[in-house]
Structure 1
């Protein structure tokens, strides 16, 4: 039996290794437009490769139907993934926060061991090759590149990802290939990405970083709240808190909804506690400049902006602040609101949302419900995970189920 896999990322490689281990008689060809496999694996975790997570459920995923992932997570849970890693010689470093990295702390080691497994299993890599269309003739698939035909495949897996990180040659070719077999897809969008905001002081705050609680409002309704690092940038906001919240924000932006965020710089304190701290501070050092005293609790850039928002002069003394002024400062520190208007785009996104509708794919085999012997796995499907190794784990798990089905 002859198998074609389009896309040599985590899902495609896992499917190939799984299928060949289960059926040594398979001929498997993996196609990829890059010079080598696993380009996105190499880029994940800033080169350290946040490869999985020990605590995973469908609550860690977003899509038209997040529960689609449950069968894959059941059959290929973290223990199964750990066993697979051992089988290729990869040892893992499991962190207290449940994130999982290779023990080497290098993504290169992951790709190197996967390459070794492909070579050992005699799986054929056809690299620097872009598949532009697929035909099906008398139950056989023919893959066409720009200058060559690859004929007579019994089964085809599309695992070519989506548009996140186009600088790594990421494309949406998989959607076009699926569409030729009557598949539909939900609009794609960048996920785990910085957000552009409508906020007049953003350039003045550029570079300011602080742990904060970010609350997302969609059409004035509270949607989700996340506490983590926040980074102000020239275009708006980034940092782990923003990457996490972007998954919900960008989806709403795509639906032309009103998207706002609220920033609480002191989530560990109540408003009254923060008010008491500032009142005591200003009273005990009343002859000092207010901006100087504020730098005791926030950065100098933020201290200056706080006074601007309160319409107070930059050289105002602490003793010149009245209770209304202080309450205004507290309100800004606990509820700084700004409108979200755009994202940093696919180039700066860690993942892509949207994709092939999961209603058209069998969640046990990852076979198309519309075309026999056509399969999908990984990011090309309308499933996107939270930050923390969840996207890579879905790639491994969906690739595993697809690989089992390909072997039969």
Structure 2
């Protein structure tokens, strides 16, 4: 049997290793556009590689049908992943947050050990090769690169990802190939990404960072609330809370819905507690400029914007701020709301949403329901995970199930 795997990322590599371990007699060619496998693995976790998570359910995933992932999570849970890592010599560092990293704290060690196992198993790596088309003739698959044809494959796995991080040569070729075999797909969109806002003072707040609670409103209805770092930028907002909520925001944007967020800079205080704190500050620093008094609880940049936003003269003394103005400032600090207009795009996204529709894929084997012996795994499918190792775990799990299926006659 001769198998082709398109894409040398997490899903493709674990599929190749799993299949070859089950049947040493099969021939496997793994194709990748880059000079080496695992480019996205190397970039994950800022080079540290947030490789998995010990607490995973379908609630950590978004897509047309998130329950599609349940079989993969059942068969390849964290314990199974840990055992796989041990089998290639990779020891894990499990954090109290449930995030999992290599004990070496380097993504490079993950890729090196995966590559070592491919070599040990005799899996053929065909690198710097972009597969642009696949045809099926007399039950055999024919792969076409930009300048060469590869013939006589019995089975093919598409694990080439989507467009997130195009600087790593990411493409949507997997979707194009899927459509050749009558597959449909949901529109792709950048996920885990900074958001562009219509907030008129965004440039004045550039660099301001504060742990806050971010609420997401879709068509004016509150849909999600996440607490974490918010970083103001020249284009809008970023930070961990924004990346996390972006998954739901961008999906709604892709459906042309009205999307807005609200920021509460003091989620641990009630409005009355915050009001009392401000009143005390203004009394204590009554002869100081109002923005100086405000800088006792927020950054100077934010203090100045709060005054401008509420039409309060920045040179006004703290003692001259009236009760109505203090309440207006409190409202801004607990419900600073603005529309989301766009994202930072695929180049700055950690993952892609959308992709090949999962109702056309068998969730136990990851084989196409439309074309026998054609398989899909990883990001090319319409499943995207939260930040925290969930996307990589789906890649490992779906690749493992596909790998098991590839060797079955």
Task: Report the TM-score, using the length of structure 2 for normalisation.
Answer: 0.99
RMSD: 0.5
Report the equivalent of 2:268. 268
The yes-or-no answer on 1:66 pairing with 2:66 is yes
User: What is the CA–CA distance in structure 1 between the aligned matches of 2:92 and 2:256, rounded to whole Å?
Assistant: 42
Alignment partner, residue 49 of structure 2: 49
Give CA deviations for 1:98-140 in whole Å, capped at 9, x if unaligned. 0000001000000000000000000000001111111111111
Alignment partner of 1:296 is 2:289: no
Could you tell me how far apart the structure 1 residues matched to 2:315 and 2:407 are? Answer: 74
Instruction: Map Cα deviations across residues 334-375 of structure 1 (whole Å, 9 max, x no partner).
Output: 000111000000000000000000000000000000000000
Higher mean C-alpha displacement, 131-140 vs 280-289: 280-289
Identify unmatched segments of 5+ residues in structure 2: none
Query: For residues 143-222 of structure 1, what are the structure 2 equivalents within 5 Å?
Result: 143-222=143-222
Distance in 1 between the 2:190 and 2:82 partners?
29
CA distance in 2, matches of 1:319, 1:66: 55
1:341 is the counterpart of 2:341: yes
- Report the counterpart of residue 92 of structure 2 in structure 1: 92
Number of residue pairs aligned between Structure 1 and Structure 2: 408
Q: SS at 2:150's partner residue?
A: strand
Q: CA deviation at 1:159?
A: 0.2
Normalising by the residue count of structure 1, what TM-score does the alignment of the two structures yield?
Answer: 0.99
Alpha-carbon separation, structure 2, partners of 1:205 and 1:146: 47
Superposition pairs for residues 8-407 of structure 1, below 5 Å?
A: 8-407=8-407
| CA distances 1:27-46 after superposition (whole Å, capped 9, x unpaired) | 00000111100000000000
Q: Distance in 1 between matches of 2:145 and 2:251?
A: 34
Distance 1:148 1:321 in 2: 74
* Superposed CA offset, 1:156-178 (max 9, x none): 00000000000000000000011
Q: CA deviation at 1:310?
A: 1.2
Q: How far apart are the structure 2 equivalents of 1:72 and 1:337?
A: 39
SS of 1:260 mapped into structure 2: strand
| Deviation at residue 303 of structure 1 after TM alignment | 0.4
For residue 122 of structure 2, give the secondary structure of its aligned residue in structure 1. coil
2:89 counterpart SS class: coil
Q: Is the 8 A contact 2:58 2:69 kept in 1?
A: yes
Partners of 1:114 and 1:241 lie apart in 2 by 32
Shift of 1:280: 1.3
| Unmatched 5+ stretches in structure 1 | none
Distance 2:165 2:244 in 1: 17
Q: Contact 2:259/2:340 (CA < 8 Å) preserved in 1?
A: yes
For the residues of structure 2 that align with 1:127 and 1:334, how far apart are their CA atoms? 52
Instruction: Tell me the secondary structure at the aligned position of residue 203 of structure 1.
Output: helix
